[in-house]
Amino acid sequence: MTIARENLRWNGWGRLGESIELSGPREQALLAELGRRLGRSLSRAPAPIELDAVRPPPCKLTPAVLAQLRAACGEDFVRTSAFERLTHALGRSLPDLLRLRRGEIERFPEAVLYPRDEGAVAAVLRIAAETDLAVVPFGGGSSVVGGVEPRTGPGQAGALALDTTRLDELLRLDRESGTATFQVGIDGPALEAALASQGLTLGHFPQSFEHSTLGGWIATRSVGQQSDGYGGIDDLLVSVRMVTPEGVVRTIEVPRSATGPDWNHLVLGSEGVLGVIVEATLRVRPAPRASVIRGALFRNWADGLAAVRAMHGAGLSLTMARLSDAAETELSLLLRRDPMRRVDPAATALGLAARAGWGSGRCTLLYGAEGEPGRVRGALRSARAIAWRHGGLPLGSAPGRAWRRERFRTPYLREWLLDHGVAVDTMETALPWSRVADGHRVVTDALHAALGVHAGSGLAMGHLSHGYPDGACLYFTALWPLDEARPLEQWAAIKRDVSDAIVAAGGTISHHHGVGTDHAAWLARERGTLALAALRAAKAALDPRGLMNPGKLL
Amino acid sequence: MTIARENLRWNGWGRLGESIELSGPREQALLAELGRRLGRSLSRAPAPIELDAVRPPPCKLTPAVLAQLRAACGEDFVRTSAFERLTHALGRSLPDLLRLRRGEIERFPEAVLYPRDEGAVAAVLRIAAETDLAVVPFGGGSSVVGGVEPRTGPGQAGALALDTTRLDELLRLDRESGTATFQVGIDGPALEAALASQGLTLGHFPQSFEHSTLGGWIATRSVGQQSDGYGGIDDLLVSVRMVTPEGVVRTIEVPRSATGPDWNHLVLGSEGVLGVIVEATLRVRPAPRASVIRGALFRNWADGLAAVRAMHGAGLSLTMARLSDAAETELSLLLRRDPMRRVDPAATALGLAARAGWGSGRCTLLYGAEGEPGRVRGALRSARAIAWRHGGLPLGSAPGRAWRRERFRTPYLREWLLDHGVAVDTMETALPWSRVADGHRVVTDALHAALGVHAGSGLAMGHLSHGYPDGACLYFTALWPLDEARPLEQWAAIKRDVSDAIVAAGGTISHHHGVGTDHAAWLARERGTLALAALRAAKAALDPRGLMNPGKLL
C-alpha cells in the first residue's frame, strides 16, 4: 500500500506538515497585495473544524455482510473507522475542501475495502450486487470534479469505497517491447521508482503525481506536465483489465488492432462507472539522459501563442510548452517577490525588459525537452529560434528550475489562501488553434464577470498548458474572496457561468480533469444525448444493477 | 461522385484495361517457375463468367418504397439495374473475387442509393426502419473481409446499399488549426488532390488508396503505407458525424478531451453497424518537400527485425520501415527478373552480395522519411547507421523507386494469378516486439501446413509492414493452386487454420483489414464475450431495429 493516508491532510492537499514556504514578511506583503487587488483586507479565516469533531453516522452494514467482505479482502482490510470513512468521503476539489473544512460532509462510505487482487475485487462486486450497495473505486482520492463521492443509486442502502492502493505491484516488464504491466493502485512515485530501478520511465507527471494512482489516471484520461512529448495516459496505454459486475473486460497486448471499436478508449475515461480497472500495460521509455526547461518572455499573449503554435507546427519534440497569460505571469512574479531581499538580479533584469517593451502584458513561456542530450539541445535550439522570431526574450533555465522545484507544490498554495478567506479554483478546456485566442478572451471575460457578480471581486488568469498539432489546452485559475456564509453556492454559481462560457466557445468541458459530478451537467451539450444513451446502454450490459460509482459521468 | 464504377473491373481489382505488365517471355518464365514451385504446370484457367450472364433476382421493393427513396435521394439516385446491384453485392476479398468470377453471387442489394447529404442519409434510414430493410454503407467497396455484402437480419426482406460516393466534398479547411473537414464518400485521389491544391496532405495511403473512401478508412480503422510517420486514420481523426437510425452521433472539434470514453474510437472501426459516417475532420499537414525511400539487404530475418526494432526504439521520424522475410524477398526478385535482359546490374550486384554472405535467407528492408529535406536526411542517415550495425547492406534508392511505382498496382497481380489457376490471399496481425519473431515463425508454419493439407502445395511469405515503439504488424501472403471444384471451401479451410494460429500466438485477428464477416468468428476470443455484449448494447441504443449492416463485426 503506497499511500499512507494517516500522513496526509484529511481536509486539504498533500502531506501533513508541508505547505508553501513563506517567511513572515513575505507572507505579510503578499496578503497586503492580494487584499488590495481583491478589495478587502485579508486576515486569518475561521479555523477549519478539527478531525475529531467529524462524526460519521453509524455504518449500516450488517455483521454478516461485513464478514463476507472480510472473507474477500482479509480481516484487516475492511475498515469502518471514522478516519477511514472520512478520508474516503470526498476528493480534493475546492467544494470538497470547503465541505471538509466546515465538517459538512453529506455522504460517507459505509466501509472502506482494500482488496489485494482481482479475485477479491470481483468478490466485493458480487457481495455489493447481492446486498444492493454502490461501489466507488478509490485510488489517490485526488479528484477535482467530485469523482469519488460515495453517492448511491435508486434502491441502494449505501456505498462501499473500494480502495485500490493494495493493488500496487509491477507485474511484468517486457524490455524488448518497452512495456510494463502494473496493478493500478500504485501511486506516481512508486510507479516511477519501480521503473527507475530498471533505467525506465513512464513520463506521466500530472500535478497530482505524488497523490494519485495509475488507475485514476486511466479512469480520468489524465495528462501529465510533460505530456506534449510523452503523450497522455491514453497514448501510453497498451492494454487493460477491468472487473465489472458481469465479469472481466480486457484488451490484448498488441500495438494496434482494427477489430472494431477500441475498448481501451471505453475504459479510458470510464471514471469507475463501468467497473474497477485492476491492471494495465503501459509503454515505457528509457529514463531521459537530459531534461532541460527554458524560459522566454513575450511582449504579449498573442506573440506567445503564435510562437507555441509554430513550435507544434514544426513538430519539435518538446515535452512541454507552457505559456502563462499576462495576469498569471504577473501573479507568479508577485508570488516569488521577496521584500527582504535587497538585491534581486531577476527583478532588475525584468525592469530592464519592461523598459525595452516587455512590460505590462508580458507573458512567460516555459518550454522543455527530454531524452538524448543531442536531440534535446537540437529541439531547444529550434524552439528558441521560433520564440525569438516572435519576440521571445530568452530567460535561460532559471525559470524552469524554479518551476521544477514547485511543480507538485502549487496545490499547497490553496490551503494558505483558504486559511485567509480566499478561494481558488481552476477550470480547463481544449480548443483548436483557430479558436484558442478567442476562447481565452471569452472565458477570461466570463470569469471576470462571474467573479464580479458572485464575489464582488476576484482575480482571473490562465495559461496554455498543453499543445497539439491542431489545438491546445487552456487552463484558467480564479481567486476570489470567500463568502463564508454561502461558500458552496458561491462556487457553484461561478463554476456554472464559466462552464457555460467554455461550452459556448466550442471547448470541451474538460481536457484532463474528467467529468465526475461537477461537469456532468455540461456533458450532454458536448456529446449529444444519443451518444450518452449508447454509453448508458453499454454500462447496463456490464453493470445491470447500477452498482458502479452512481451519479458520476452519466 | 469521384468513383465511376463503369470504368472499374466488376469482378476484380481496379480499372478496366489495367493489369500487371508482363511481356510474353517474362510471363512464360514466371509461369514456369511458379508452376515448378507449386508442383503443377500452370496454364490458362477457365474464363470467368461474363457480366451479361449475371442476372440478379428481381428487386423486391414496392413502387411506393422506391418512390420514397427517390424523394430522399433524387430521381436518378435510386438505382436497381443489374450492373448497380452487382457492383454493390461484394467487396474485393479473394472469396468475393472467386464468387464474382464464377457468377455465384448469393446476395444482391435490392437497390443502390446515392444520398447527397446528411438529411438524405437520415431519410433513407427512416424509410429502411419503416419497411424492415437492412442498410449497408458502401464506399469504395474494397473490403477484403466481407464488410459490404448485403446480408439481412431477422425479419428483413432485403438490403439497401447506401453508396456514399456523392458525399464527396471538402467542407472546411482550418489552416490555422491544420484541419480539414470532408464528407466521407470522397476517395483517396480526390481527397489528396483537394488538399494538394492547398499545399497540404493527409498522408494516408492504404494499398486500396485509389479505390477506397475516407468513410471506409474510418469505419475499418485503416492504416496507410506511410502510417509509421503519419499515424493510422485513428491518429488523424479529430471529430466525426455519424447518422444512426436514432439520430446523429457527433464529436466536437477539439484536440483532446477527458469527458468520458472517447466516441471517436467507437465510430472508428464501427464497420457500418452503428450508422453511416457522413463527415470527418482530419489533421492535415504541409505537403512534404522531400520524400525518400531507401533499401537495405540483411543476411537474415532476425538481423532485419533487430534493425527495425532499433529504428523504432530510437524514435526516428520514419514514415515507413517495411521488412520482407526471405521468402517474400526471393519472390519479389523473381517477379522483377526479366529473361530477355542480357545485362542486369542489380542481378550482378545481388550475385556478389550472395557470395559475401547476403545469400539465401536474405531480407529486404524499405525505409523512408518525408518532410523537411534536412530532417529527412537526418532520419535516413540515422536509420542507415542502425541498419549497418545490424548487417544491412545499403541498396540505395532504386528499390524504393520501384516500390513507389508499384505501390497501388500489386493487387492487379491477383487477377493474373487467378487467370492461371493460382489463388493468393493475405492475412495480417500485430504483436509486441517480444513476440514478433515467434509469431512470424508460428504463423508461417501454420500457413505452410494449411497449404499442404488443403492445397497440396503453396507458397507462404510475410513482411513486417508497420512498426510501433512496442510492436509491429506482420503481413502474410499465401499462393496456392486453386481447387477449381471447391475454391471457396479450400480458401475457408486455409483461412481458418491460419487465423487460429494468429489468435493462439496472441496476435490480433486484424491490424488494419477489419472484421467484417470473415474475422467475426475470432473476435470473441480476442475481445471476450462481455466486451462484445456491451458493444451490442451500445448498438441497440443507436440501431434498435438492427438495420445497420447486419452480420458484420458483431
DSSP code per residue over A125-161:
HHHHHHHTEEEEEESS---SSSTT-----TT--EEEE
Alpha-carbon distances, residue B371 vs A374, A379, B288, B290, B399 (angstroms): 21, 16, 4, 5, 20
Report the distance separating Cα A46 and Cα A24, nearest Å: 20
So what's the pLDDT on residue A318?
Answer: 97
Nearest by CB to residue B246, choosing from A234, A247, A530, is: A530
E strand map for A309-421: 320-324, 363-371, 393-396
Over chain A, what is the mean pLDDT?
96
Report the distance separating Cα A416 and Cα A21, nearest Å: 10
So what's the pLDDT on residue B452?
Answer: 98
Over chain B, what is the mean pLDDT?
96
Chain A closest CA to B429's CA: distance in Å?
8
Quote the distance between the C-alpha of residue A109 and its chain's center: 23
- A216-269 pLDDT tens trace: 999 999 999 999 999 999 999 999 999 999 999 999 999 999 999 999 999 999
Choose from A125, A208, A470 for mutation: most chain B CBs within 10 A. A470
Question: Which residues of chain A does B232 touch, with a Cβ-Cβ cutoff of 8 Å?
Answer: 256
Helices marked H in B314-432: 326-336, 345-355, 373-389, 398-406, 412-419
Cell numbers for A200, please give them: 525506465
Question: Which residues of chain A does B221 touch, with a Cβ-Cβ cutoff of 8 Å?
Answer: 257-258, 262
Half-sphere exposure at residue B397, Cβ-oriented, CA atoms within 13 angstroms: 8
Question: Which residues of chain A does B541 touch, with a Cβ-Cβ cutoff of 8 Å?
Answer: 530, 533-534, 536-537
Nearest residue in A to B246, CA atom? A530
Identity (one letter) of the amino acid at B285?
Answer: R
Residue B342 confidence (pLDDT) above 80? no
A534:B542 CB<8 A? yes
Nearest by CB to residue B174, choosing from A250, A267, A432, is: A432
Exposed, middle or buried by CB within 10 Å (0-12, 13-18, 19+), for A151?
A: middle
So what's the pLDDT on residue B343?
Answer: 76
Question: Shortest CA distance to A183 belongs to which of A196, A172, A168, A195?
Answer: A168
Nearest by CB to residue A258, choosing from B176, B512, B534, is: B512
Q: Which residue has the higher pLDDT, B25 or B86?
A: B86
- A447-491 pLDDT tens trace: 999 999 999 999 999 999 999 999 999 999 999 999 999 999 999
> Residue A46 has what DSSP assignment?
P
Report the distance separating Cα A465 and Cα B544, nearest Å: 42
So what's the pLDDT on residue A122?
Answer: 98
Question: Which residues of chain B does A553 touch, with a Cβ-Cβ cutoff of 8 Å?
Answer: 260
Reported for B448-453, long-range contacts at CB under 8 A and 24+ positions apart, including other chains, are B449/B497, B450/B493, B450/B494, B450/B497, B450/B498, B451/B478, B451/B480, B451/B494, B453/B493, B453/B497
So what's the pLDDT on residue B3?
Answer: 82
Secondary structure, 3-state, B465-526: EEEECCEEEEEEEEEEECCCCCHHHHHHHHHHHHHHHHHHCCCCCCCCCCCCCCCHHHHHHH
Helix-strand-coil split of chain B, %, nearest 5: 40, 20, 40
Question: Which residues of chain A does B542 touch, with a Cβ-Cβ cutoff of 8 Å?
Answer: 530, 534
So what's the pLDDT on residue A64?
Answer: 98
Nearest by CB to residue A269, choosing from B251, B261, B512, is: B261
- Complex-level ipTM: 0.96
Residue B1 confidence (pLDDT) above 80? no
Residue A508 confidence (pLDDT) above 90? yes
Residue B339 confidence (pLDDT) above 90? no
- A135-152 pLDDT tens trace: 999 999 999 999 999 999
So what's the pLDDT on residue B293?
Answer: 97
So what's the pLDDT on residue A333?
Answer: 87
Report the distance separating Cα B545 and Cα B554, nearest Å: 15
Q: Are A543 and A244 in contact (CB under 8 A)?
A: yes
Quote the distance between the C-alpha of residue A241 and its chain's center: 23
Question: Which residues of chain B does A177 touch, with a Cβ-Cβ cutoff of 8 Å?
Answer: 432-435, 470-471
Least confident of A83-92, A348-357, B106-115: A348-357
With the C-alpha atoms ordered B34, B330, B211, B108, is the resulting torsion angle positive or negative?
positive
Nearest by CB to residue A250, choosing from B246, B254, B528, is: B528
So what's the pLDDT on residue A476?
Answer: 98
Chain A closest CA to B528's CA: distance in Å?
7
Cell numbers for B75, please give them: 430521381
Cell numbers for A4, please give them: 499512507
Work out the pLDDT band at B395, boundaries 50, 70, 90: very high
Percent of chain B with pLDDT over 70: 100
Question: Which residues of chain A does B261 touch, with a Cβ-Cβ cutoff of 8 Å?
Answer: 265-270, 535
A470:B251 CB<8 A? no
Place of cell 475546492: A94
- Cβ neighbours around A444 below 10 Å, total: 21
For the segment A63-71, the average pLDDT, to the nearest whole number, is 98
This prediction's pTM: 0.97
Q: Are B386 and B303 in contact (CB under 8 A)?
A: no
Quote the distance between the C-alpha of residue A183 and its chain's center: 20
Cell numbers for B431, please give them: 504483436
For the segment A361-372, the average pLDDT, to the nearest whole number, is 97
So what's the pLDDT on residue B344?
Answer: 77
So what's the pLDDT on residue A343?
Answer: 76
Work out the pLDDT band at A345, boundaries 50, 70, 90: confident
Question: Shortest CA distance to A539 belongs to which of A242, A225, A340?
Answer: A242
Residue A342 confidence (pLDDT) above 80? no
Identity (one letter) of the amino acid at B390?
Answer: H
Q: Are B165 and B214 in contact (CB under 8 A)?
A: no
Question: Shortest CA distance to B118 belongs to which of B281, B282, B276?
Answer: B276
Nearest by CB to residue A535, choosing from B253, B256, B260, is: B260
So what's the pLDDT on residue A3?
Answer: 82
Q: How far apart are the first and last CA of chain A?
A: 31
So what's the pLDDT on residue A409?
Answer: 86
Place of cell 478531451: B257
* Residues ≥6 apart with Cβ < 8 Å to B158: B60, B61, B109, B110, B133, B134, B150, B152
Report the distance separating Cα B292 and Cα B289, nearest Å: 10
- B475-533 pLDDT tens trace: 999 999 999 999 999 999 999 999 999 999 999 999 999 999 999 999 999 999 999 99
Report the distance separating Cα B251 and Cα B264, nearest Å: 7
Least confident of A1-5, A76-80, B443-447, B452-456: A1-5
A177:B430 CB<8 A? no
